[in-house]
Amino acid sequence: MTSAPRRMTRRESQEATRRRLIESAISLFADHGVRATALIAVAENAGFSRGAVHGNFSDKDELAAEVVQFIVEDLGPELTRALHSPGSANDRLAAYISTHIDYCRREPTRAAAIIAAVGYLSRPAAAASHGQPYGQRAAESVTDLVTLFEEGQRRGEMRDFDPTTMALSLRSVLDAAVPTHPGIETHEIVALFDHATRLEETTS
């Protein structure tokens, strides 16, 4: 005799609803963009009424921010492993780039959705209504890359450059160019940033 399935707690049910709404938004943001996606469409696509969205998110900005956070948390552990893999700073940089590109190819819908959400959150109105400019949050999101570049410079493996500028430049390429150009060659991006960061050996 099989036992009846355990009923979800109220908190578990709320979390499941929130996740379904986020996954619905990811699909619609990827297909139509954030501006063209109505909140009621997100709810209906997830099998809920309009009230489900408003009961979980204050507005579309908050939903878009949650989409970004959801995807970042999904990809984050893979990037962390790449940054802490064996080898030089440039080896780990190559692993980071390859991991990011592989994820975009494996999860094209999520890759497209995060581009749409980041673009939407970068508009001036988002900063005015939610306080912290998205550019500032983006700068904070590349802390691990900045640490890698600083370590590479201390160890004499990388040339002198501004680590934050380089980190933001790399993320700009990975977050925008790669998902919109699925045929892009991983080794070309690796070579580009390897050349931009590596300390060139001088011959006497």
CATH at 150: 1.10.357.10
pLDDT values of the chain reduced to their tens digit, one per residue, 204 residues: 566 667 778 788 889 999 999 999 999 999 999 999 999 999 999 999 888 998 999 999 999 999 999 998 999 999 999 999 999 999 999 999 999 999 998 999 999 999 899 889 887 766 555 555 555 555 566 899 999 999 999 999 999 999 999 999 998 888 877 777 767 889 999 999 999 999 986 554
Ranges of H-type helices in 55-185: 60-83, 89-106, 108-121, 124-130, 134-141, 143-154, 163-172, 178-180
Residue 34 lies in a domain: no
Residue 5, in any domain of the structure: no
Q: What is d(CA 36, CA 60) in angstroms, rounded to the nearest whole number?
A: 11
Is residue 166 one of the residues assigned to a domain? yes
Report how many domains make up the chain: 1
Residue 131, in any domain of the structure: yes
The answer to whether the CB of 193 falls within 8 A of the CB of 89 is no
Specify if 117 maps to a domain.
yes
| Domain of 166, in residue numbers | 59-197
The helix (run of H) or strand (run of E) holding residue 123 is none
pLDDT of amino acid 130 = 56
C-beta of residue 39 within 8 angstroms of C-beta of residue 108: no
Q: Identify whether 30 is part of a domain.
A: no
Predicted confidence at residue 184, as pLDDT, reads: 81
Please check whether residue 204 lies inside any domain of the structure. Answer: no
69 in a domain, yes or no? Answer: yes
Place of tokens 């080896």: 91
How far apart (Å, rounded) are the C-alpha atoms in residues 34 and 172? 19
Rounded to 10°, the helix 143-154/89-106 angle is 150
- Please give the model's pTM, rounded to 2 decimal places: 0.81
